[in-house]
Amino acid sequence: MKQLSSFLGTILITLSVFTVTIFSSCTKDNSCKSMICQNSSICQSGTCICPTGYTGQYCEESVIVYYNGSYTPITITVNNSTHLIPVGGNYTYYGSAGSSANGTATTSYTDSDGKRLGEVVTWQITDQFPSDGNRASHLLDVSSDYFYLKIANGDYYDSVVALKVNYNSPDQVADSILLPNNGQPYVIGYYKALPGTTILAMGVGAGYTGSSWVLVPKIQNSTNATAIVSVP
């Protein structure tokens, strides 16, 4: 009788283990039940696995990369988010696939004292976050409407202290500067590239009383390049 009881107990234990095993193996992984993975992504263990070109918790976002192709750092604002892109650098924005990416970007030259020289170059941004799985990119490069000016002070003055670029035109820009008499070109900034850009430089010293204006050689439509001119 004891043997029968022991035998029956063994059977019950075996059935219990078997039942637990069967129940466990039939239990489903519900971690993906509440996940709504988008853009053809799939859910694995509660995580959306995104196809190429998409990101975000539900693979709902795509990207646009903005590249700085200018000579100076660019301040960019897209969808009210502002960032600084260094020369030769880039910045990536994320947004819902198919949504708009709107804003502006600006660049200009500032000297070592933080003073801006030349004009501010501005871009209007009206892009769209891609919905085709591709990675979008946008090169921010200064157009041929501007040139990047460098000026060297030769042996004509002790110092060059002011410039008028595009002199006597509606696009004239006046800047106060200080160029030593060493023949080295110094960056001044961006200016409009007119059909015949005229620059006047005001210098002092070198036997002159007070100051005088001198005509710097004309620039003929520089196309997004550095224009180097010298004060005679």
Domain ranges in the chain?
Answer: 42-140, 146-231
Lowest-pLDDT range, 17-31, 154-168, 209-223? 17-31
Of the CATH numbers 2.60.40, 1.10.3470, 1.20.1070, 2.60.120, which one belongs to the domain with range 146-231?
2.60.40
On the question of pLDDT at 12 being above 50, the answer is no
Query: Long-range CB contacts (< 8 A, 24+ apart) of 43-52?
Result: 51/133, 52/133
Please check whether the two domains, 42-140 and 146-231, share a CATH topology: yes
Higher pLDDT, 215 or 26: 215
Query: Does the pLDDT value for residue 28 go beyond 60?
Result: no
Query: Which pLDDT does position 132 carry in this prediction?
Result: 84
Q: What is the CATH number of domain 42-140?
A: 2.60.40
User: What pLDDT score was predicted for residue 182?
Assistant: 86
* pLDDT tens digits, 82-108: 999 999 999 999 999 899 999 999 999
Per-position DSSP letters for 67-83, written without gaps between them: EE-SSS-EEEEETTEEE
Q: Indicate the SS3 state at residue 6.
A: helix
Dump pLDDT digits (tens) for 188-215.
Answer: 999 988 877 788 888 888 666 556 666 6
Does the pTM surpass 0.85? The reply is no
Statement: residue 18 has pLDDT above 60: no
Indicate the average pLDDT of the chain: 81
State residue 119's pLDDT score. 95
Q: What is the pLDDT of residue 213?
A: 65
Average of per-residue pLDDT across 43-51:
90
Band of residue 217 on the pLDDT scale cut at 50, 70, 90: low
Asked if residues 151 and 185 have their Cβ atoms less than 8 Å apart, the reply is: yes
